[in-house]
A and B are shown apart, each in its own frame.
Chain A
């Protein structure tokens, strides 16, 4: 009996390792758990001088008045919303000038999931940028009571192609990635839409009014809620948001493997 148990134990161990690997892989997929980014505190002056911050960290690339330079594009037309978004998600100031592809291409912005400055400094910087930049201001987004169904439709029509039905992002060309939205606050969603971050197109107020934008932001929050499993009407396991790829892996690594182990137990070995 012992002689028959050992191979079975080995197989069970192998299966457990595979199953755990699958679970870990699908959790790791999202990237390391990052700190929750927060919306900015109410805008208004602060003890820290926004102009000083701008001159120290932004002007060397984007110019003293935000008109750009050889290193970075002009921020005119991008507005304080772009400043707020990139700084709150840690994309700016940029850590490394890491161009896409073979160099000479657009600079890659890497979200760190953490604001680059403490909230007061971010607010000051944004306030200063309001004085030198044209473009959309930081939006006030309140998703309470938003039309989720409209948000779902707009998301499917305009966002899912890059960010995926799950909002977890996807690969683009030239080595770029449409990022996951699972860490984005409603304000950041609308800011990204209005400013067109990096290679993301702009979704301006004339084609998507504030109600539409809020609805989309609300739907993204719905996706986040379902992912984190609270009150999600549907999810009964972390396998939501993964799609047929992981479903197939589970069918093989859990389903077939479990049944094959059972079959080895039932039948003779040889």
Chain B
């Protein structure tokens, strides 16, 4: 039956040879190559659940008394956005489940992109000819973070509203154009009454479209260039060894799609997330302690908390201290990410040879230790984003926590890099032993 369908299409498109090439295409089967697919399939879940949610959500900011079934908020004046989110959580059958799956999927989506980025980085998969896909991938990370921020800020709850106020201040802090940019995005002084509608368009249309487009490019490039592989038996720079796309690889990949969906469904069902009815509706003069953004913004939050009060005032102009951790740091971060493949190429004086065989991290001490150090730096920032909760739980003064983290920010990356070097060396030594043992065994066999 499928064959009849395939023939029907081929009669109109003459695509059979492409189909055959595609079906027999070989994909390397190492498990770490599937991490990118975790992100891809989380995105699928996001689009499906998100479309459902968008059918109920109303991004309006006009306030009306709440009349839904959550008793502690009955009569409170809330925006249409907050109200529709409450309705989804209490008055739409299965609404809360879908909302929770959607939010967990967003957290897992960005986490998967980060794990995938780490895998690509530490195995050197970004080297020529894959710099292009690296650039596309880093852009996807940036877009994913922005989409997540826009998404959870839509609900007009206390926590995300405070985040939007910080966002306004960050825009304001940009030299020369800051004031204009902030007023442009928010349609006037904070909070205004257009920001939720604009975030909605960004979150459900512009950003997902960009992600979809870049994802397509990302996959097409992989298709064209063929996936990298680890060195090993039969594997050379001139071939690909693994599963055929049809049926094995397709089965495994679609199986992964279902497993990702299963884990996200379990999380969405069993683990509450973003209880906006407890945060309360956003009021500009109210705030809460223990206020953190979603995890993928945590490093930024930590930078804001650790940055000392450094303001630059000269010639009647001011660069407020907020600019440095909130604009300069992410700018440098992403610039560094984008440029890394080219910097590595230039510094290592690498030949213009293509690489299709991956490095093992242990064989590249500089790249591995650098990656570990940079990762540790952002991990410390992430931890610093929760410094007030750490102070509360450990019963330590906040000033001490901040002081320790500031020191750790510079000491731990170096220490981590040193540990990485030691571990790599150890692993290589055991490789040599294993190789030696293997050689001895082979020699024994031949006798």
The residues of A with any CB-CB pair to B shorter than 8 Å are: 29, 101, 148-149, 151-153, 156-157, 160-166, 168-175, 177-178, 219, 222-223, 226, 233-237, 239-241, 243-245, 247-252, 254-256, 258-260, 262-270
Contact = CB atoms under 8 A, between A and B. Distances in A.
- Is the contact region of chain A dominated by helix, strand, or loop, or is it mixed? helix
27 contacts: A148-B74, A153-B280, A160-B158, A161-B287, A161-B288, A165-B158, A168-B290, A169-B289, A171-B388, A173-B399, A174-B397, A175-B400, A233-B71, A235-B272, A236-B271, A237-B270, A243-B292, A244-B292, A251-B107, A255-B108, A256-B108, A256-B111, A258-B263, A259-B260, A262-B256, A263-B38, A270-B232
A226 B286 contact: no
B389 A245 contact: yes
B391 A171 contact: yes
Given A237-B271, A260-B35, A219 B263 contact: no
Q: How large is the interface on B (under 10, 10 to 19, 20 to 34, 35 or more residues)?
A: 35 or more
A254 B35 contact: no
Contacts of A260: 35, 38, 115
Contacts of A251: 104, 107-108, 111, 267, 295
Contacts of B35: 260, 263
A267 B263 contact: no
A259 B286 contact: no
B283 A156 contact: yes
B398 interface: yes
Contact of B290 (A172, A174, A243): A243
B432 interface: no
Contact of A233 (B70, B230, B287, B397): B70
Interface stretch (B1-9, B26-34, B201-209, B317-325): B26-34
Interface string B131-161: 0000000000000000000000000001100
A226 B275 CA distance: 11
B191 interface: no
Contact of B33 (A244, A256, A267): A267
B332 interface: no
B286 A171 contact: no
B289 A164 contact: yes
Interface string B252-293: 100110011001100101111111011110010111111111
A156 B290 contact: no
A170 B388 contact: yes
Contacts of A248: 107, 294-296, 298
Contacts of B115: 256, 260
Contacts of A153: 76, 280
B290 A239 contact: no
A170 B392 CA distance: 6
Given A156-B158, A255-B264, A244 B76 contact: no
Nearest to A235: B272
Interface string B387-420: 0110111011111100000000000000000000
Contacts of A236: 269-272
A236 to B, nearest CB: 5
A172 B179 CA distance: 32
B308 interface: no
- Which of B38, B70, B269, B392 gathers most chain A CB within 10 Å? B392
A240 B272 contact: yes
B66 to A, nearest CB: 8
Nearest to B290: A164
A264 B292 CA distance: 32
B73 interface: yes
A173 B287 contact: no
A258 B274 CA distance: 21
A255 B111 contact: yes
B72 interface: yes
B89 interface: yes
Chain A CB within 10 A, most for which of B255, B292, B397: B397
A3 to B, nearest CB: 16
B386 interface: yes
Contact of B71 (A148, A177, A178, A247): A148
Contacts of A166: 278, 290
A259 B267 contact: no
Given A149-B74, A160-B158, A254 B267 contact: yes
A259 B36 CA distance: 12
A268 B252 CA distance: 11
Contacts of B272: 234-237, 239-240
Nearest to B100: A236
B112 interface: yes
B75 interface: yes
Nearest to B386: A245
Given A149-B76, A259-B112, A270-B232, A165 B288 contact: yes
B391 A250 contact: no
Contact of B72 (A165, A219, A256): A219
A254 B392 CA distance: 25
B256 A173 contact: no
Given A160-B158, A247-B295, A263-B38, A170 B108 contact: no
Nearest to B37: A263
A251 B74 CA distance: 32
B90 interface: yes
A249 to B, nearest CB: 8
A161 B260 contact: no
Contact of B285 (A157, A168, A169, A171): A157
Contact of B280 (A148, A152, A245, A256): A152
A164 B274 CA distance: 15
A267 B73 contact: no
A151 B280 CA distance: 11
A226 B272 CA distance: 12
A270 B230 contact: yes
B229 to A, nearest CB: 11
Contacts of B279: 165
Contact of B278 (A148, A161, A234, A250): A234
Contacts of A258: 263
A248 B108 CA distance: 9
Contacts of A263: 31-32, 34-35, 38, 256
A20 B173 CA distance: 43
B283 A255 contact: no
A174 B397 CA distance: 6
Given A256-B111, A266-B256, 9 more contacts: A149-B73, A156-B158, A161-B289, A171-B289, A173-B399, A175-B400, A237-B272, A247-B107, A267-B33
